[in-house]
Structure 1
Amino acid sequence: MVRVLLSGVVGSTAYGLARPGSDVDRLGVFAVATQELHGLRRPAESVVTTAPDQTFHEAAKWCRLALVCNPTAGELLWLPEDLYEERTPLGSELIGLRRSFLSAGAVRSAYLGYAGQQLRKLRTRDATLPETRARAAKHARHLVRLVEQAVGLHETGELRIRLAEPERIRELGERIADRPESAEPLLAEAEHRLDRPGVLPAAPDERPVEDWLRRVRLANLTPLAAA
């Protein structure tokens, strides 16, 4: 038995980059019945499907991902209100804790690390295959978005999901897809800005996260049948 605590539409729809025919990606957090965590076999920590495109993480796993500022997991707490599809009271509490997950080093490592991965994909793709061009542009858009989100988090403590200028991101992505080396100044500038003092703490605040997870476990503890 599982209970969805929070879910919403993420990805290109959330960023404002979706076009007709774009996939609709969903992300969520669920809790299993607490008793299931104490048997011989632990329940699955993630459920991923491709038709439709959905990723749901069990509450503890999602918290571990968010505490290292995983960009994909963390965006669930910063969605525009209209993109939440399921939001329980515990889910709303989790949104209220979103700044507790943030830390300067983790934001730098995770966001710039993911951006660097996108650049490596661009550099190693087989440019002779026409189907890789659209994929390259997608990687380039992710790179630009991740860099800008990292700087925004570092300097303001806020994660902007819906991009202010999606067409600019799209056009810049097209240029970087054609010339991957043109992303290097963008990454260098982001590293320079993240070297400056920012507003994020040195470490995440784990105590309220731990308290929330314990409330989740209590809420999903069902009475045992009499022996």
Structure 2
Amino acid sequence: MHVLLSGVVGSTAYGLAHADSDVDRLGLFAAPTVEFHGLHRPAESHVSTAPDRTLHEAAKWCRLALSCNPTASELVWLPEDLYEVRTPLGDELIAIRRSFLSARAVRNSYLGYATQQFRKLTTRDPGDPRSRAQGAKNARHLVRLLEQGLALHETGEVTVRLAEPERVRELGEHLAENPADATPLLADAEQRFDRPGALPDAPDEAPAEAWLRAVRATHLTPA
């Protein structure tokens, strides 16, 4: 496995981490090209819990990024200080990051994941302390996804580190206790996503295709 790009993501990257937060890491790797020539394809992802790390094979990461998956996409938009592994191919991927973006995919992904958090928020058991804590986490993610998604839709830029993390944290606490107050936030987000934004209608797959072919050529011969 050749890790091409890796960094710290999640609550640490957003500025929402607290003393008990886990440190989440995300990266992408290139499997040796020869492994694609047999009956069985190589594993597309490797997930570990000690430390908490997810690594996606290069092709899978590209597919996730072309669908504007929020978690996968943020890897190429991290603040410089959060990268732990950067290679020349990783830097090339960062350079073409805007080509993965599209208006419909951003709307579907960010608004879709925020709506999932809302459903979790409204179906939790308010009498369970563990459920209450999870509800606050769901609410923070809901707010974060809406704010990051709308900023991306309207500016064409992914902002990983939140400008006002304390406000997001406080709003999350409020929504955890008052889930119905999230309804107008979602409605407003839908209206804003429906307006013309800064993103193209479809992604430009050509740079991703060229980059992935370069990855395969680089790792054609086992080291």
TM-score by length of 2: 0.98
Matches within 5 A, 1:48-197: 48-197=47-196
Structure 1 residue matching 2:131: 3-state secondary structure? helix
Matches within 5 A, 1:26-41: 26-41=25-40
Asked whether the 8 Å contact 2:28–2:61 carries over to 1, the reply is yes
Structure 2, unaligned runs of 5 or more:
none
Cα deviation digits, residues 147-197 of structure 1 (max 9, x gap): 001110111000111000000000000011011111111111111111111
Which sits farther off after the overlay, 186-195 or 71-80? 186-195
Amino acid at match of 1:70: N
Which sits farther off after the overlay, 120-129 or 135-144? 120-129
Cα deviation digits, residues 187-226 of structure 1 (max 9, x gap): 11111111111110000000010000000000001079xx
Q: CA separation in 2, counterparts of 1:189 and 1:125?
A: 24
Amino acid at match of 2:103: A
- Please state how far the C-alpha of 1:42 moved relative to its aligned partner: 1.1
Asked whether the 8 Å contact 2:23–2:52 carries over to 1, the reply is yes
Instruction: Provide runs of 4+ in structure 1 moved above 3 Å.
Output: none
Asked whether the 8 Å contact 2:32–2:222 carries over to 1, the reply is no
Structure 1 residue matching 2:64: 3-state secondary structure? helix
Structure 1 residue matching 2:2: 3-state secondary structure? strand
- RMSD in angstroms over aligned alpha carbons? 1.0
Structure 1, unaligned runs of 5 or more:
none
Q: CA separation in 1, counterparts of 2:8 and 2:165?
A: 17
- Equivalence for 1:199: 198
Which sits farther off after the overlay, 127-136 or 161-170? 127-136
Which sits farther off after the overlay, 113-122 or 179-188? 179-188
Amino acid at match of 1:40: L
- Equivalence for 1:212: 211
Asked whether the 8 Å contact 2:115–2:142 carries over to 1, the reply is yes
Q: CA separation in 2, counterparts of 1:152 and 1:223?
A: 42
State whether structure 2 residue 65 is matched by structure 1 residue 43: no
Q: 1:29 to 1:129 in 2, by over 3 A?
A: same
- Equivalence for 2:12: 13
TM-score by length of 1: 0.96
Cα deviation digits, residues 117-164 of structure 1 (max 9, x gap): 000001111122111111110110000000001110111000111000
Q: CA separation in 2, counterparts of 1:188 and 1:144?
A: 13
- Equivalence for 2:221: 222
Which sits farther off after the overlay, 191-200 or 105-114? 191-200
Asked whether the 8 Å contact 2:5–2:27 carries over to 1, the reply is yes
